[in-house]
Structure 1
Amino acid sequence: MVTIDTGNTAWVLVAATLVFFMTPGLALFYGGMERSKNVLNTIIESFFLIGVVSVEFMLIGYTLIFGSDVDGVIGNLDKIGLIGTQNNIMDGVNIPEMAFVAFQCMFAVITPAIMSGSITGRMRFAPFVVFSVIWSLLVYNTMAHWVWGGGFLAQLGALDFAGGLVIHILSGVSGLVLCLLLGRRRGYGRMPMLPHHLPMTVLGGAILWFGWFGFNAGSALGAGPLAANALVTTQIAAAIGVVGWVLAERYHRGKPTVLGAVSGGVAGLVAITPAAGFVTPVAAIFVGLIGAICCYVAVAILKNKLGYDDSLDAFGIHGVGGMWGAIATGLFATVSVNPDGADGLFYGGDLLLPQLVSIIVAVLFSIIGTVVIFKVVSLFMDMRVSIGAESLGVDISEHGEEAYNQSEFKSSGRFITSDHHSLV
């Protein structure tokens, strides 16, 4: 009879709660970067997905990912509705499968929430929810099975410790496709669209950093050396990400910013995610530093040159950072850290090729899946808010609410503008 490891179980359950906390953190991170007239819509796009995607994952998502493999493509339906998981103990780590279910559910929740950062201020709420549920069902679950559930990318040898491929590339690229399909926000490039509450963004970024320890170290599925290594590499990569982004910003624009510092931290976290349990702490410095610089270039230079309107830079940070992290895994991974992994290029291994193939697959699958689902949903629902609603703000047009009660300022002859939050 297999005995439950209470230490491993406790850690996985704690890690699950940490990852859960990341989605409200993401809501604050994104909410502070939006204009005040759209902040509630931005927040609910993350918060509501906690509810609806959790239900989808428990009913069918888990079995599609972790059910018995069907031809390397998808899991079977043996675990639909979590059948058979209640009393099962997972071999190797000796934790209840239900603890693993809870942990993986939080991953499924945050992935479409990340994607929402590309389309804030112009997509109607109901179509976004419908799109996200279908996308989670068909795109996320399938990709997660390919990498984590024994699918063809896992059989190829691709490694993704905590979600660089499955979460960040998938959501970042899909967000880019969504913003291209919707078109730019009205006035984009001609009027300022500045963050309305940077302290809120910093708070959200700090919550993300805190929760990311569960995200990465929890993926070891046990309280041991591997989890400790993942936690340390996560901290180092995020820390150097802050430094790298601020230095790049100082060199490029002449002044360091608070938004740049918190963005650099998140970029470092994204970059280390696929590699956290496969690389050494020294390697994590290079992973985080290069990742932050790549993301800065994507956000501050590439987006402006190409002219696409990725509202809150979901692609620039998550898509680009995830791609670099997957490549870095192919370069820096070593079996001295994780015997169940593989040696990367710098250790004489051939892991880089499977990593490159997996990136191409993730990008193409994201593009195709997003376009098809968007086109189908748009046959039945108007995807974009009207001109008047966009000008008024989607908080009022979609939810009938305002984040800040401006009536007092209006009655006293003062008014807080949507873009600058300054008194005029």
Structure 2
Amino acid sequence: MEERHGPGISHWWRYGPPGWNRSAERAESRPAGLPWRSTVLITVFVLVGSNFAAHGQPHREPLDGYARVLLLLASLMLLWRRRHPSAVVFGTAAVTLVYLGAGYPFGPVFLTVAVGCVSAVAAGHRRAAWAAVGLLWAGHVLIALWLYRWLPPAGDRSASVTQEIVVATWVLAILALSELARVRREQWARERADRAQAAQRRADEERLRIARELHDVLAHSISVINVQASMGLALLDSDPEQARSALTTIRAASKEALGEVRQVLDTLRAPGAAPRAPAPGLDRLGELVEQAAAAGLTVEVLGEPPRLPPGADLAVFRIVQEALTNVVRHSGSRHARVCFADAGGELLLRVDDDGPATGADAGGSGNGLAGMRERAAALGGTIEAGPRPDGGFRVVAVLPAHTREDQ
């Protein structure tokens, strides 16, 4: 059935409704493209800027076709700066060094090396970036202080120490900018990872909440149904009317269970959609007592149920429901007491039965007690559960004062 009608509930819990994150899926499945737009802009800037720079440096070699090919080659290499950052930074440095060795004017050609260096450092190839920029600077010093005698332009003079200090300053500035880009990128990656972990934690907590709700609803309702079914089978021949009453109770309990399960599963709908029915609370304590009575358990409520905020109201209701479910399933007593009291500003909830215990897991040794403890802990309270000296069983919940609506 699940294959015919699409992903099941478990898939929905984990990955969200169909189309929930379709854009992210497409982005992850799409291969990384080449940065055409930025590379075209850099190429135009380098070519046009070099023409303007040549007018102010008449003592250098004029820009010719060979110079423009070098400028174009250094710029177009940046298309692969994301896929092969180390090769690109070395390539742009080598082409720039050839350009300088040919005696062409200084200008925006250094921008290609700067972009390649920033990309390499940001991608984690720090040594390659530093080595490429260092080799370019060393080659420039070699040309400016020694090889200028044999390289164009004719009559070129040695560079001064001040000029080399300026060049070294620019090199350090490029490296510093690259490191800054790397640090910022790592910070963004950490922030994305933290957001993803927080989202995963929220999803896990929501799945745990839904599972706990389903357990509480189903455990209580199925316990009532089990007791009534056993009674109906026993009385089917001797007392048909009593058996009919048991079947009626089963139908009502199953209908209510289906309604509550549907309400819990409504939380899996699209975000922002309001639940179709209010969450149960202590205002439905009377219904809970009636259900227990239908299962043959007389419940006496002592004290006035407090007014609580919605979340605390649901949690206390589920604690009472689970405690009564344990009495129905694991106790031979047909009488239970639910007591609400104010203990020093704290809300005290106590559920007692008179025993005796029945079965090896009497008192509840499964997920029920663990669920009650989790609900109490979520409110900042505690749960104590265990046998009483007189043979009965007691569940005591102590909840802080801030859970009360009137505090």
Normalization by structure 2: what TM-score? 0.25
Q: Which has the higher contact order (CA 8 A, sep 6+)?
A: 1
The structure with the greater share of residues assigned to strand is 2
The structure with the greater share of residues assigned to helix is 1
The structure number with the bigger radius of gyration is 2
